[in-house]
Structure 1
Amino acid sequence: MSEHLATQTGFKKYYHLMRPHTLTASFVPVLVGTAAAKVFGDIRLDLLIVMLIACLLIQAATNMFNEYFDYKRGLDDHTSVGIGGAIVRNGMSPKSVYNLAVAFYIIAAILGLYICWQSSWLILLVGIICMAVGYFYTGGPVPISWTPFGEIFAGFFMGFVIIMITFYIHTGHLSVYPAVLSIPVSINIGMINMANNIRDRVKDKISGRKTFVILVGKNIAIITIAILYALSFIIILYVTFTKDYGSLFLLIVFLSANLPIKAVRRFFKGDKPIELMPAMKVTGQFNTVFGFLLAIGIYLSAITGI
């Protein structure tokens, strides 16, 4: 039996419920936002840690809401790949999955109050909006994930918004610098969602979803991924050679350039959901490696002034 369809018990079923391969979308923006803040001054370790935990909890809770609502709508069964499988394979009740997601949201909200207390209460409003988007991504009468805008919402809120919040809580102001650097991160996060929609396009179409992938087809979706990945590197090149904040250290991200090439090739090669899982895995790996390298490059630029 494939590892993607195996039944999990004990701690493993909770681990898989959080869909750990997607959690890279939560901590990469925090690291990039913090590194960008270092360019402008000192950063606070406590705010970094609290922000990381809060974002991880929100992302994990969003995945649980996804699990719950997709099950309720009859989209998931024991043959579904890419899901946590907590309900359809591991015996957890839908209510327990939903309640665990709510509990994660509550803890994240409490951590958010600490962040607001240490920075600005305006963060509270932004945080509420982010949590609402996480819930309505698969919840509500018209889930965001059922529209062509899922990738945009995911990239914007998990990339741009989180980077800007993280930058702000350290510096007390906003800047064009982290905003520009957030573009490739937002793209890479959105492409994780695009990869998911490529894998699930057949079942999604039957269910009535109108995702971007369904509207344009698999091949155009893959070409879109390739173009946007290229744009991520072009933006880094642009920032590298700008007058005020350019740094050759940013070019370190090109060490990850083999991963998007590998992902695109695997997407073209595979067709069935189980065949596309390796490609999906690479999109998550690319987001992680690219994000870490970008954060390192920004940080080295900050501490060396080069």
Structure 2
Amino acid sequence: MPTRDELAAAPWRIWIQAARPKTLPAAAAPVMIGIALAVGDGGFHPLSAGLALLSALLIQVGVNFHNDYTDFLRGTDTEERVGPLRVTQAELVDPKTMRWATFAVFAAAVAAGTYLMIRGGWPVVLIGVTSIASALWYTAGRYSLAYIGLADLFVFVFFGPVAVAGTYYVQTLTLTAPAVLAGAGPGALSVCILLINNIRDLEGDRQADKRTLVVRLGRAFGVRLYAVCMAVAAIVPVALPLHVGGHWGVLVAAPVVAGAWPALQTLHSGTTDPERLNPLLPTTGRTLALYSICFALGWMLT
């Protein structure tokens, strides 16, 4: 994890830090699965697939920039925070610049998605508008999603069924039940990533009146929800081929979920040491990435 001085010495690294690259698998994973489903159904559309991936990544970066900006303004990010450095709080980027960077990235996402909206019509427009509006609502406003305990639901829906089914739709211009159901896997694992953040930041969030589910219902609930999400992700690649009567290759994705088991054990230990909790983020992110790769290949090749 880079220090403030290391980032200040290389300005380009400041924006890499602000983009939070370790969170990007959460944006890419469902798109990858949506592409695989379209390939399996003979509806792969390369341009739409590429633009869907680019739009998803840009929206994720926009969310991260916006979160960096708003958490600083609300006093959630302080010098005592235990997670990775936040560039606005560290005075590496002034708030006005971060605000404009946020709008610029979201504008780029809209530009990348314009062709998709023309191709897919009002359903894609609806997905695009609600995705960006929800991303802005995530930490902005008095009743922002992250501050009233709805962030977990937002992450599951938009990084799961909406992203997978949306990617499938912009290629095939149809919507199927498997495309929606397949999204539950990456959506659940994306919630696991959020839970690690919220468990690690429990005390700081409580002091800042950030009422995450972990703050509202306790650390033990967060650990149990992490386990439930792991189970959901493992069940999806078993249930889906049973539902469609084929594509049995996706079964290889189920055991990949075990890669998050060490993280669950660490959370269950009750530790509050950031040195032990911070590494769980890339561990869970890698599990999500490998899960999605195995799911995608399994679907396309069988």
Q: TM-score, normalization: structure 2?
A: 0.93
d(CA) in 2 for partners of 1:116, 1:14: 29
Establish whether residue 267 from structure 1 lines up as the match of residue 267 from structure 2.
yes
d(CA) in 2 for partners of 1:80, 1:10: 22
State which drifts further: 150-159 or 248-257.
Answer: 248-257
d(CA) in 2 for partners of 1:248, 1:127: 32
Note the C-alpha offset of 1:195.
1.4
CA 1:4–1:245: 2 relative to 1, 3 Å: farther
d(CA) in 2 for partners of 1:39, 1:191: 28
Question: Counterpart of 1:36 in structure 2: which amino acid?
Answer: L
d(CA) in 1 for partners of 2:152, 2:198: 9
Question: Counterpart of 1:238 in structure 2: which amino acid?
Answer: A
Q: Judge conservation of contact 1:138–1:144 (CA < 8 Å) in 2.
A: yes
d(CA) in 2 for partners of 1:216, 1:142: 18
Superposed structure 1 runs of 4+ greater than 3 Å apart: 4-7, 81-84
Establish whether residue 179 from structure 1 lines up as the match of residue 184 from structure 2.
no
> Which residue pairs with 2:104 in the alignment?
103
CA 1:245–1:14: 2 relative to 1, 3 Å: farther
Question: Counterpart of 1:191 in structure 2: which amino acid?
Answer: C
Secondary structure of the 1:167 match is helix
Q: Judge conservation of contact 1:67–1:83 (CA < 8 Å) in 2.
A: no
Q: Percent identity?
A: 23
Establish whether residue 94 from structure 1 lines up as the match of residue 95 from structure 2.
yes
Task: Quote the RMSD (CA, aligned, Å).
Answer: 1.7
Superposed, 1:2-151 pairs within 5 Å as 3=1, 5-7=3-5, 8=7, 9-83=10-84, 85-89=86-90, 91-151=92-152
Secondary structure of the 2:193 match is helix
Note the C-alpha offset of 1:235.
2.4
> Which residue pairs with 2:226 in the alignment?
225
Note the C-alpha offset of 1:246.
2.7
Note the C-alpha offset of 1:81.
4.0
d(CA) in 2 for partners of 1:230, 1:159: 15
User: Structure 2: which 5+ runs fail to align?
Assistant: none
Map Cα deviations across residues 19-43 of structure 1 (whole Å, 9 max, x no partner). 1111111111111111111222131
Q: Judge conservation of contact 2:230–2:257 (CA < 8 Å) in 1.
A: no
d(CA) in 1 for partners of 2:63, 2:82: 18
d(CA) in 2 for partners of 1:88, 1:215: 25
Q: Judge conservation of contact 1:18–1:64 (CA < 8 Å) in 2.
A: yes
CA 1:210–1:79: 2 relative to 1, 3 Å: closer
Note the C-alpha offset of 1:272.
3.0
Note the C-alpha offset of 1:91.
1.7
Question: Counterpart of 2:202 in structure 1: which amino acid?
Answer: R
d(CA) in 1 for partners of 2:180, 2:232: 15
CA 1:82–1:291: 2 relative to 1, 3 Å: farther
Q: TM-score, normalization: structure 1?
A: 0.92
State which drifts further: 219-228 or 139-148.
Answer: 219-228
Question: Counterpart of 2:246 in structure 1: which amino acid?
Answer: G
d(CA) in 2 for partners of 1:297, 1:59: 26
Map Cα deviations across residues 222-257 of structure 1 (whole Å, 9 max, x no partner). 122112211221222122333x34322111113523
Question: Counterpart of 1:56 in structure 2: which amino acid?
Answer: L
Q: Judge conservation of contact 2:251–2:298 (CA < 8 Å) in 1.
A: yes
d(CA) in 2 for partners of 1:122, 1:223: 35
d(CA) in 1 for partners of 2:110, 2:291: 29
Question: Counterpart of 2:276 in structure 1: which amino acid?
Answer: E
Note the C-alpha offset of 1:188.
1.0
